[in-house]
Amino acid sequence: MKEIRDETGVGHLLIFGEPTDGCLVRIHSRCLYGDTLGSDDCDCGPEFQLALDMIQDEGGQGVVIYLEQEGRGLGLEVKARGLHVGERTGADTFDAYRLLGHPEDSRTYEHAAVALAKLGLRSVRLMTNNPDKVQAVENAGLRVRAISLHTTPRSVRAARYMAAKAKRRSAYSQLPARDR
C-alpha cells in the first residue's frame, strides 16, 4: 500500500498482482458507515466488495485507490449531520447537504488519476457509476472503459439513496453504454 497525496486530497493505492493495461481499477471514497460498519443506508460497502470480488475473479490483478473523502469530501461530521437532516425532513442526502449549506459533492479524483498514470497504465477498466471519476482518469491521459457496478439495495433507505444518486447524476445511467 502506498499513500498518494497532493493539494486535491489523500488516498491509498493498493496494487493487486501486476496490473497491466486494461486491468480492473476501483477508485473508492471511504465510507465508514458502509465499508466498515455494514450500514444498509447506502451502496458504498456493496460496491466496494463487488469491486474487490471482480479483481479476485480476474486472477487478483487490479488496482484499488481508497480515497479519504468521507461524506462526499466533507467529512464524517457533515455526513452524520446530513443523515440526521434527512431522517428529520425526508430530504435525500444531496438536499440535506444543501440544507446544511454545503455543496452536494466536494470530492476530487485528480490525484487518483495521476497515481494510475504513474503506474505506467495507458488504459483501464474503471469500475464505477460516477462519470466524474471517468472524466478525471481520461484527463490524466488514460483510455477508460467504464464498468458499471450494479448492487441490490439492502434496505428501503439504500434504495432511496441509490435512486437519488441516479436522479442527480443522470449520467450514471449512461455508463453501461460507454466504452472509451
Euclidean distance between CA atoms 130 and 170, whole angstroms? 10
Query: Helices in 20-121 by DSSP H: which ranges?
Result: 44-57, 76-89, 93-99, 110-118
Query: Residue 45 CB: number of other CB atoms within 10 A?
Result: 21
Which residues form the catalytic set?
105, 107
Looking at the chain, how many residues does it have? 180
Cell, residue 173: 445511467
* DSSP E strand boundaries for 17-163: 23-29, 62-67, 123-127, 143-147
CB 40 within 8 A of CB 152: no
